Structure 1
Amino acid sequence: MVDSIHPPAEADAPSIPVRRGPEPVRPRQRRWRRRRLNRYTGAPFVLISINLLLFATFFVWPAATGLLYSFTSYTGVGDAPWVGLANYQRLLQDDAFYSALIRTLIYTAGVVPLTIVLSLGTAVLLVTDYTKGKTVARIIFFLPWLISPIIAGVIWRWIFGENFGLVNYVITKLGGSEVAWQSNANLSMFVVIIAAAWGGTAFNMLLFVAALKNVPTAYYEAASLDGAGSWAKFRRITLPAIAPTTFIVVLLSVLHSMKEYALFAAINDGGPGTANNLLVQYIYTKGFERAQIGYASAASFVLMLILMVVAIVQLAMNRRKES
Structure 2
Amino acid sequence: MPFEVLIYSRFPKAMMARIGQRFDLMDAAGKPPAEVFTAEQLSGVRAMITAGGTPLRAEVMDTLPALRAIVCYGTGYDGVDLDAAAKRGIAVGHSPAANAAAVADLAVTLMLAATRHLLPADEYVRSGNWAAAKPSPLLRPQPGNPGRRVGVYGMGEIGRKIASRVAAFETEVGYFSRSRHDVPYQYLPSLEALAEWCSVLMIAVRAGADTHHAVNAGILRKLGKDGYVVNISRGSVIDQAALVTALTESTIAGAGLDVFENEPHAPDTLTAFPNVVLTPHIGGHTTESHTAMQDCVIANLEAFFAGKPLPYEVRGA
- The TM-score normalised by the length of structure 1 is 0.24
Mark the structure with the bigger radius of gyration: 1
TM-score by length of 2: 0.25
More strand by share: 2
Which has the larger share of helix? 1
